[in-house]
């Protein structure tokens, strides 16, 4: 019959054997032997090792130590031949368990530690937890509660990580015992109840029997004797049924203690004697000598001196055997344990350090990728946006009233989008501290009027009153970066309108002379909106800050505006102030110390530029942008020549004289920087012609090197007014 079984049958037998070990050990052994003989016949060494180790485990539980050791040692020999470290670890575990359960603690410790070391090398956390649980038991036996607690806790941690209820509850059992010894009955009760709950879920009867035993101990400490008794009897019958000798012995001894505590010496003696007998049969000396001691006390109290003496003798003899010789060995072993612990700790801290370094590197790399992505994306978005705004400007001249309104809407939408894109781009540049100011004389009156015009429509649509209150700057110009200042004020005005539902928004500018050269300009944007709670008044200036209710906010937003305002003002060398109260509105203000300069030619709105007949070379590779720009320029009577890349620009500049050159920076073949450099080094033509860089940025890092070749940098998308203004400023 046997020969008909295959290796896969053997595996099934072995699995079934392992599963039934918690309920029917005899069956486990029977199946294990069957599997072993199949494996041996099939000459499958790996399987033979598995069978040997399993059988060793089953024998150990039934208390047949010799058999258990024999099988485990056999397994180790085979494993060593085949280099099977997992098998060796398992065998050491079994041998260690056999030893400590027969009170040979130093041997137990030695083998369990050997097993732990191998499992750590193999990184097998489930097995580590299992070994730790047993090590905890040994530590407890030798009175080392501290290490016992640590071992159990590691087992619990692993159990939780693996979500393995049996592992957790197996460690909760003894942990509960430790708390009980420490006098923390509440915690002991909590752990043991949780263990029972888990055992109910997993159906592990053997484990359940130990948990019930643990609950009995807690009940005894609480003085609930009837409950303790019924628990112990239950545990006893479960252990007996499963054939677990150690469990049976423990339950018998504990029942003896319970009866003794309740003043029933007859029952107590009966149970101690039974425990003693079992311990003799299955060499469980620990239970044996404790039972001897209790029997000695009982007989002494009962006046039976002779019997008392013989128990005392047996107790002393065993105690000597077990404890004193063991203690010395354990002390030796202890150094080993601590050394092992120290090595583990060092390894652990090195692992943690390495992990931190990896995390940091990854975070930095991620931040760089994010920055690059944002820069590239905003640049890519700006180029088509350029076309949208320019075409809208072109169409405006031909539009009737209805279409005019549509164009207004288009204009507004694209400006908002432009602002957002600019914010993202600026944000990344500000983060990298790449923003430098381009100062030139700025007419603040014109700047504020422009802002007013832009935001008036937006305010009116919400039924808000927009007010411009500018004092003392008419006819004056100041040296500053117009685009950046515009950006700061635009962000503040945009927010004021966004976060106000009724009332008014106002922009105030005032001037206070500091000395002959400098003036102090105060700017403030005031609203009657929702206001900002005191606890948020700092946070709103942080990157990506969004108020907590962001998902329900009707306004939306990127949370970048104020962070940019704060950083930009930092570049200006000043800071932003906020006064606000919830429901009462807000005032954002800042001041700039600016140099007064000769006023630029007044360019009041709608004024014509004097650019009729000027010749311009436009180098731009994007055909739509080029076409749009040329149309816009021709409106002022400018004569435009187009070059599709840097090479073409250099060629055209070598053969025709221009009044101005508009140079896109990103172009194929030759970029704008190099083209400008080439043109500047030419002999005659265009050596002096002002060249304006058209840049959608990201190239800013090169600016410093090339600044000398350019009369100015104009941001894309092209705002035609800016171009005209720049040209006129230059001529003046
Ligand atoms: P967002 O794109 O979210 O508007 P900002 O950085 O511009 O980002 O603003 C950050 C937050 O500060 C806003 O979400 C808003 O809660 C608050 N805030 C900004 N300006 C005002 C204001 N004028 N009134 C009330 N709250 C404001």
For ligand 1, the distance from its centroid to the CA atom of residue 453, given in whole angstroms, is 22
Distances (CA, A) of 70 to 52, 116, 410: 9, 21, 89
For ligand 1, the distance from its centroid to the CA atom of residue 529, given in whole angstroms, is 11
pLDDT at 137: 86
| CA dist., res. 532 & res. 587, Å (int) | 10
Q: State whether the beta carbon of 561 lies less than 6 angstroms from ligand 1.
A: yes
* Stronger pLDDT, 411 or 121, i.e. the higher one: 121
| Range scoring the smallest mean pLDDT among 23-27, 457-461, 680-684 | 680-684
For ligand 1, the distance from its centroid to the CA atom of residue 563, given in whole angstroms, is 10
Residue 577 zone, left/alpha/beta (φ > 0; ψ -120 to 50; rest): beta
Cβ pair 611, 724 in contact under 8 A? yes
For ligand 1, the distance from its centroid to the CA atom of residue 718, given in whole angstroms, is 28
Share of the chain above pLDDT 70, in %: 90
Closest CA to 121 of 305, 314, 343: 343
pLDDT at 1: 45
pLDDT at 666: 82
Name the residue with the closest Cα to ligand 1, atom 23: 496
Q: Mean pLDDT score of the chain, rounded to an integer?
A: 84
Backbone torsions φ then ψ of 639, nearest 5 degrees: -100, 125
The minimum-distance atom of ligand 1 relative to the CA of 530 is 25
pLDDT at 698: 47
User: Counting Cβ atoms within 10 Å, is residue 8 exposed (0-12), middle (13-18) or buried (19+)?
Assistant: exposed
For ligand 1, the distance from its centroid to the CA atom of residue 488, given in whole angstroms, is 13
**Residue to mutate (ligand 1; options 426, 494, 499, 530; most atoms within 8 A of CB):** 499
| Range scoring the smallest mean pLDDT among 270-279, 553-562, 600-609 | 600-609
The minimum-distance atom of ligand 1 relative to the CA of 496 is 23
pLDDT at 249: 94
- Distance separating the N- and C-terminal Cα atoms of the chain: 112
Q: State whether the beta carbon of 537 lies less than 6 angstroms from ligand 1.
A: no
pLDDT at 551: 42
Q: Does 33 have pLDDT greater than 80?
A: yes
pLDDT digits (tens, 9 = 90+) for 263-292: 999 999 999 999 999 988 887 777 888 899
pLDDT digits (tens, 9 = 90+) for 231-242: 999 999 999 988
pLDDT at 65: 85
Average pLDDT on 557-563 reads 79
pLDDT digits (tens, 9 = 90+) for 313-342: 888 877 766 655 555 555 555 555 555 666
Give the number of other Cβ atoms within 10 Å of residue 728's Cβ.
Answer: 16
Q: State whether the beta carbon of 499 lies less than 6 angstroms from ligand 1.
A: yes
For ligand 1, the distance from its centroid to the CA atom of residue 494, given in whole angstroms, is 9
* Stronger pLDDT, 545 or 480, i.e. the higher one: 480
| CA dist., res. 426 & res. 411, Å (int) | 22
Distances (CA, A) of 465 to 43, 505, 555: 95, 6, 19
Average pLDDT on 68-82 reads 89
Cβ pair 509, 523 in contact under 8 A? yes
For ligand 1, the distance from its centroid to the CA atom of residue 511, given in whole angstroms, is 27
Name the residue with the closest Cα to ligand 1, atom 4: 557
For ligand 1, the distance from its centroid to the CA atom of residue 552, given in whole angstroms, is 14
Q: Could you tell me the pLDDT band of residue 116, with boundaries at 50, 70 and 90?
A: very high
pLDDT digits (tens, 9 = 90+) for 624-673: 778 878 888 887 788 889 998 999 999 999 988 999 999 988 888 888 88
pLDDT at 320: 66
The minimum-distance atom of ligand 1 relative to the CA of 491 is 7
pLDDT digits (tens, 9 = 90+) for 503-524: 999 999 999 999 888 999 999 9
Structure tokens at 680: 């500047």
pLDDT at 547: 61
pLDDT at 580: 94
Q: Could you tell me the pLDDT band of residue 256, with boundaries at 50, 70 and 90?
A: very high
Distances (CA, A) of 623 to 103, 309, 675: 91, 113, 19
| Range scoring the smallest mean pLDDT among 121-135, 244-258, 711-725 | 711-725
Query: Could you write out the DSSP letters of every residue in 12-24?
Result: HHHHHHHHHTTT-
Give the number of other Cβ atoms within 10 Å of residue 103's Cβ.
Answer: 22
Helical axes 482-498 vs 401-431, angle rounded to 10°? 110
For ligand 1, the distance from its centroid to the CA atom of residue 535, given in whole angstroms, is 14
Q: Using DSSP, state whether 479 is helix, strand or coil.
A: strand
For ligand 1, the distance from its centroid to the CA atom of residue 555, given in whole angstroms, is 9
Q: Does 604 have pLDDT greater than 60?
A: no
pLDDT at 610: 78
For ligand 1, the distance from its centroid to the CA atom of residue 145, given in whole angstroms, is 58
**Residue to mutate (ligand 1; options 562, 569, 585; most atoms within 8 A of CB):** 562
Average pLDDT on 718-732 reads 77
The minimum-distance atom of ligand 1 relative to the CA of 531 is 25
Domains of the chain: 8-123 (1.25.40.10), 228-322 (1.25.40.10), 435-597 (3.30.565.10), 615-731 (3.40.50.2300)
The minimum-distance atom of ligand 1 relative to the CA of 541 is 6
Residue 84 zone, left/alpha/beta (φ > 0; ψ -120 to 50; rest): beta
Share of the chain above pLDDT 90, in %: 39
pLDDT at 365: 78
Q: State whether the beta carbon of 532 lies less than 6 angstroms from ligand 1.
A: yes
Q: State whether the beta carbon of 527 lies less than 6 angstroms from ligand 1.
A: yes
Q: Does 69 have pLDDT greater than 70?
A: yes
| CA dist., res. 383 & res. 664, Å (int) | 11
Indicate the pairing of strand 660-664 with strand 639-643: unpaired
Closest CA to 246 of 100, 55, 63, 99: 63
For ligand 1, the distance from its centroid to the CA atom of residue 695, given in whole angstroms, is 29
Q: State whether the beta carbon of 496 lies less than 6 angstroms from ligand 1.
A: yes
Average pLDDT on 294-298 reads 92
Query: Could you write out the DSSP letters of every residue in 653-708?
Result: HHHS--SEEEEESS-SSS-HHHHHHHHHTSSSTTSS--EEEEE-SS-HHHHHHHGG
For ligand 1, the distance from its centroid to the CA atom of residue 160, given in whole angstroms, is 44
pLDDT digits (tens, 9 = 90+) for 667-721: 888 888 889 988 888 777 888 899 998 876 645 545 666 777 888 888 777 777 7
Structure tokens at 210: 């130990």
Q: State whether the beta carbon of 559 lies less than 6 angstroms from ligand 1.
A: yes
| CA dist., res. 58 & res. 52, Å (int) | 10
Q: Could you tell me the pLDDT band of residue 469, with boundaries at 50, 70 and 90?
A: very high
Name the residue with the closest Cα to ligand 1, atom 13: 546
Q: Does 567 have pLDDT greater than 80?
A: yes
Q: State whether the beta carbon of 495 lies less than 6 angstroms from ligand 1.
A: yes
């Amino acid at each position: 019959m046997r020969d008909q079984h295959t290796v896969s049958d053997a595996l099934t037998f072995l699995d079934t054997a392992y599963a039934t070990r918690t309920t029917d050990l005899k069956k486990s052994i029977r199946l294990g032997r069957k599997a072993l003989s199949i494996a041996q016949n099939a000459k499958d060494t790996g399987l033979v090792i598995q069978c040997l180790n399993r059988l060793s485990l089953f024998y150990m539980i039934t208390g047949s130590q010799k058999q258990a050791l024999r099988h485990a040692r056999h397994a180790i020999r085979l494993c060593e031949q085949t280099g099977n470290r997992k098998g060796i670890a398992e065998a050491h575990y079994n041998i260690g368990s056999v030893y400590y359960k027969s009170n040979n603690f130093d041997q137990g410790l030695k083998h369990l530690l050997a097993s732990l070391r191998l499992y750590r090398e193999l990184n097998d956390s489930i097995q580590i937890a299992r070994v730790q649980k047993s090590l905890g038991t040994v530590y407890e036996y030798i009175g080392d509660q501290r290490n016992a607690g640590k071992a159990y806790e590691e087992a619990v941690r692993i159990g939780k990580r693996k979500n393995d209820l049996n592992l957790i509850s197996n460690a909760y059992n003894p942990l509960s015992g430790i708390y009980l010894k420490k006098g923390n009955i509440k915690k002991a009760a909590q752990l043991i109840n949780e263990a029972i709950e888990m055992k109910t879920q997993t159906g592990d009867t053997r484990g359940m029997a130990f948990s019930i035993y643990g609950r009995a101990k807690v009940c005894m400490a609480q003085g609930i004797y009837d409950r303790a008794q019924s628990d112990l009897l239950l545990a006893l019958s479960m252990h007996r049924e499963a054939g677990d000798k150690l469990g049976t012995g423990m339950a018998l001894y504990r029942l003896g203690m319970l009866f003794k505590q309740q003043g029933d010496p007859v029952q107590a003696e009966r149970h101690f004697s039974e425990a003693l007998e079992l311990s003799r049969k299955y060499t469980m000396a620990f239970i044996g000598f404790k039972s001897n001691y209790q029997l000695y006390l009982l007989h002494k109290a009962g006046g039976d001196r002779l019997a008392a003496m013989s128990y005392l003798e047996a107790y002393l003899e065993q105690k000597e055997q077990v404890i004193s010789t063991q203690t010395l060995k354990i002390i030796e072993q202890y150094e080993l344990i601590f050394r092992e612990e120290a090595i583990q700790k060092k390894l652990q801290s090195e692992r943690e350090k390495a992990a931190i370094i990896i995390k940091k590197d990854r975070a930095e790399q991620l931040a760089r990728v994010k920055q690059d992505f944002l820069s590239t994306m905003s640049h890519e978005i700006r180029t088509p946006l350029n076309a949208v705004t320019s075409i809208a400007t072109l169409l405006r001249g031909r539009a009737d009233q209805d279409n005019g309104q549509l164009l207004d809407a288009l204009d507004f939408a694209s400006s908002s989008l432009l602002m957002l894109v600019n914010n993202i781009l600026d944000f990344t540049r500000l983060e990298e501290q790449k923003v430098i100011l381009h100062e030139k004389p700025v007419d603040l009156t014109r700047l504020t009027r422009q802002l007013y015009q832009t935001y008036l429509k937006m305010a009116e649509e919400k039924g808000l009153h927009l007010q411009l209150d500018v004092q003392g700057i008419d006819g004056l110009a100041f040296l500053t970066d117009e685009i950046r200042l515009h950006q700061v004020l635009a962000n503040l005005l945009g927010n004021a309108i966004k976060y106000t539902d009724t009332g008014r928004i106002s922009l105030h500018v005032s001037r206070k002379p500091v000395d002959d050269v400098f003036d102090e300009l105060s700017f403030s944007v005031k609203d009657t909106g929702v206001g900002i709670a005191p606890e948020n008044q700092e946070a709103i200036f942080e990157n990506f800050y969004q108020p907590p209710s962001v998902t329900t906010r009707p306004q939306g937003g990127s949370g970048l505006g104020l962070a940019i305002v704060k950083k930009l003002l930092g570049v200006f060398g000043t800071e932003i102030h906020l006064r606000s109260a919830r429901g009462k509105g807000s005032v954002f203000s800042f001041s700039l110390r600016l140099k007064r300069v000769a006023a630029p030619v007044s360019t009041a709105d709608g004024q014509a530029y004097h650019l009729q007949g000027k010749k311009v070379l436009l180098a731009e590779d994007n055909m739509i942008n080029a076409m749009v720009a040329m149309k816009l320029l021709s409106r002022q009577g400018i004569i435009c020549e187009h070059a599709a890349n840097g090479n073409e620009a250099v060629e055209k500049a070598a053969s025709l004289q221009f009044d101005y050159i508009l140079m896109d920076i990103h172009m194929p073949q030759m970029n704008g920087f190099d083209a400008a450099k080439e043109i500047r080094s030419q002999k005659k033509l265009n050596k002096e012609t002002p060249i304006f860089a058209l840049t959608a940025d990201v190239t800013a890092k090169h600016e410093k090197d090339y600044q000398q070749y350019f009369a100015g940098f104009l941001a894309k998308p092209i705002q035609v007014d800016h171009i005209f203004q720049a040209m006129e400023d230059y001529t003046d």
